[in-house]
Structure 1
């Protein structure tokens, strides 16, 4: 494609860097949950302790979300992304050197805060590069970078620990060098967009929001919050359940977790293209219903192979909805407050990441770990109902 108003087509340097840094940002998201059984043994943690370990980093992210969103609109995407990478490097070094639960939580908190700093800036940058009708496609490419990171994290545990005799601390240190490369790639970005391509009249005709806290946005954020509650509950205890019930070791768990997110490499960009064709909301509802049916079958039907097939399939359909979700948020937030809008978009995930693991720990202690996943099923389908009947966007 040719340049238009200073913005380039699909494979511009800026979009490639956003996808690459998105990969680096999400690498650590899949490492810690995979290591929860090891943390329990090494640090002598109870279910409630594990709930706190999973909750505190998300609580830190939640408290910082709004200030960071305001900063993203004021100081620009490039500076915010450089700050996020610096925070990630500090978190990785702290996790590597952790000898107590406190230092481990501090390191993990910085790694989560890194994503809170990164997301408003990178999503704003990407949405400003493209017209509203093209955003799902661009966000699909951007999202594929994030899913690659989610995949590389758990798989790196399998490869580095299983094949190269690393310990889990050294895995955190291993990723510092790629983070430094990410800093260099961001440094060479020259063009930094700060507003939408569309004019004001085009925004109105395309359904672009002119104010931030609309009814549609609030209900959409409720949908995100309910959905993220289910995801956080599942993430907190899935690896513990797999280790205790199925007897799967770190290498196997890493492969399964990585395979689930690996689906996003293809599903995220393809989902963006299909969302453009069928409409963001309709596509999100369809794909999430399919994802949650697969999730239900994974836990209800017997057999290890059955679990793997349906759990990985749930990841495929979940990532098919990723770009559409992000595009809906872009529609519901005005151009001048896009950074704050995306901070609000990721805020429910941080809040539920702080609350949901403690709820899951209560369920696990009183009703058994398996019932955590049964609760997740109900929460997931409630989220779809909120989106279908509460949000008007297409």
Structure 2
């Protein structure tokens, strides 16, 4: 715990005066505003194109395997090419994916779009590393939480707006309209990042020679015990998440009987809760330790999964989504390759700057290996046993991950710092 720490406003001013932080936050926010108009309804869009529940699980499993393959190359490129080039490449891949989504007229066509979407996470190690290298170490949790608060603030409105648009003009037409806007946003993001991001990777010839001599297997062997534990915990919890993540909107609309507008409103409730909690959660975790913060975050999210199975109406699901938003806001959710702000802060603690991108890529790959088949399994359980079965399985598996976290993860150097 740090004594005489500066106030939150002072810390936030210091974080956002850095141009790299400002540029990435701006472009990610623009992407979030338009992207989250339609992504909450992506599963419904694919079903409308003729997919079954198992088909849905299959193509999301293909997406997961692409994530598995792309993360280590992304980390290596981030360390060798530099952060900036990899970040821009990612946006270009997302642009191609969006165009395929727009022109698709059968669910099979969505597969290459999802592959490109997964390939676009090639920038996850680079983005996390760039931000970490632009921020003072003691403020990492707060910084990631603050950036997330800004980038995800539009989620309070976007899922609701997207649901209303879809209810008014239809699922296919509504999504395609939003995809056009998403194409434009990706083009703007490429331009802003190319002009304004400053590269943070500067290596001496000796450092370059050392990196080129080291092999991938050697890098994996040199991972610390805590990094392995983190990767395994994240893999187990991500498996639990992916069992249900493609089917929450389907369950809400088909089993409970909500409209897309109501589902969008629930998304707004969850996101508002997460945003209100995010910065205080980051500051608290910077004070009490990241491991404790992760535990506090995971418990309500795990309980929320079970809540779906006992929900009968909109009010019940509003409580469930609020609980999920609370846990997500504290910072240990698992969307994205590196997870929420607390996971990112923990990873930063255990990785040297010169190889941070590559190690983040390895961690993401281990996480993806463990969770890759979950979407297909979730679809099978949903369709062949019962819609509630994947939710029960997710709850039990995530509970196991929390137990592993409590018993095996040792405190980081930050947490034991006097």
Q: CA deviation at 1:163?
A: 5.5
Q: CA deviation at 1:9?
A: 2.3
1:246 aligns with 2:242: no
Structure 1 234/331 Cα, relative in aligned 2: closer, same or farther at 3 Å? same
**Which of residues 36, 41, 61 in structure 2 aligns to 1:34?**
41
Please give the secondary structure, in 1, of the residue aligned with 2:14.
coil
Once residues 138 and 198 of structure 2 are traced to their aligned partners in structure 1, the CA distance between those partners, rounded to angstroms, is 22
Structure 1 53/177 Cα, relative in aligned 2: closer, same or farther at 3 Å? same
Question: Which residue in the other structure is 2:22 paired with?
Answer: 16
| Aligned counterparts, 1:198-237, within 5 A | 213-237=223-247
Structure 1 363/347 Cα, relative in aligned 2: closer, same or farther at 3 Å? same
**Which of residues 169, 187, 193 in structure 2 aligns to 1:186?**
193
Instruction: Report Cα offsets for 1:324-360 as digits up to 9, x if no partner.
Output: 2211010122211111122234335544563101111
Question: Which residue in the other structure is 1:72 paired with?
Answer: 78
| Aligned counterparts, 1:351-390, within 5 A | 351=369, 354-390=372-408
1:341 aligns with 2:347: no
Question: Which residue in the other structure is 1:206 paired with?
Answer: none
Aligned length: 372
**Which of residues 50, 53, 60 in structure 2 aligns to 1:44?**
50
Please give the secondary structure, in 2, of the residue aligned with 1:306.
helix
Q: CA deviation at 1:246?
A: 1.7
**Given that residues 74 and 126 in structure 2 are in contact (C-alpha distance below 8 angstroms), is that contact kept between their aligned partners in structure 1?**
no
Once residues 390 and 28 of structure 2 are traced to their aligned partners in structure 1, the CA distance between those partners, rounded to angstroms, is 30
**Given that residues 25 and 88 in structure 1 are in contact (C-alpha distance below 8 angstroms), is that contact kept between their aligned partners in structure 2?**
no
Once residues 91 and 98 of structure 1 are traced to their aligned partners in structure 2, the CA distance between those partners, rounded to angstroms, is 11
Once residues 360 and 315 of structure 1 are traced to their aligned partners in structure 2, the CA distance between those partners, rounded to angstroms, is 22
Structure 1 352/340 Cα, relative in aligned 2: closer, same or farther at 3 Å? same
Instruction: Report Cα offsets for 1:43-81 as digits up to 9, x if no partner.
Output: 322221111122112211211111111001111111111
Please give the secondary structure, in 2, of the residue aligned with 1:222.
helix
Question: Which residue in the other structure is 1:311 paired with?
Answer: 321
Question: Which residue in the other structure is 2:59 paired with?
Answer: 53
User: Which stretch of the first structure deviates more once superposed, 329-338 or 140-149?
Assistant: 140-149
Structure 1 63/153 Cα, relative in aligned 2: closer, same or farther at 3 Å? farther
**Given that residues 229 and 408 in structure 2 are in contact (C-alpha distance below 8 angstroms), is that contact kept between their aligned partners in structure 1?**
yes
Once residues 352 and 170 of structure 1 are traced to their aligned partners in structure 2, the CA distance between those partners, rounded to angstroms, is 36
Structure 1 281/377 Cα, relative in aligned 2: closer, same or farther at 3 Å? same
Q: Specify every segment of 5 or more residues in structure 2 that has no aligned partner in the other structure, as ranges.
A: 1-5, 7-12, 204-220, 332-339
How does the TM-score come out when normalised to structure 1? 0.86
How does the TM-score come out when normalised to structure 2? 0.81
Q: Specify every segment of 5 or more residues in structure 1 that has no aligned partner in the other structure, as ranges.
A: 2-7, 197-210
Once residues 96 and 151 of structure 2 are traced to their aligned partners in structure 1, the CA distance between those partners, rounded to angstroms, is 20
Question: Which residue in the other structure is 1:4 paired with?
Answer: none
**Given that residues 100 and 109 in structure 2 are in contact (C-alpha distance below 8 angstroms), is that contact kept between their aligned partners in structure 1?**
yes
**Given that residues 84 and 197 in structure 2 are in contact (C-alpha distance below 8 angstroms), is that contact kept between their aligned partners in structure 1?**
no
**Given that residues 136 and 273 in structure 1 are in contact (C-alpha distance below 8 angstroms), is that contact kept between their aligned partners in structure 2?**
yes
Structure 1 156/56 Cα, relative in aligned 2: closer, same or farther at 3 Å? farther
TM-align CA RMSD: 2.7
Q: CA deviation at 1:235?
A: 0.7
**Given that residues 271 and 324 in structure 1 are in contact (C-alpha distance below 8 angstroms), is that contact kept between their aligned partners in structure 2?**
no
Question: Which residue in the other structure is 1:203 paired with?
Answer: none
Structure 1 37/301 Cα, relative in aligned 2: closer, same or farther at 3 Å? closer
Please give the secondary structure, in 2, of the residue aligned with 1:9.
helix
1:292 aligns with 2:292: no
Structure 1 274/356 Cα, relative in aligned 2: closer, same or farther at 3 Å? same
Q: CA deviation at 1:87?
A: 0.9
Structure 1 20/118 Cα, relative in aligned 2: closer, same or farther at 3 Å? farther
Instruction: Report Cα offsets for 1:78-133 as digits up to 9, x if no partner.
Output: 1111111111111111100111223222122212321x122111100111112321
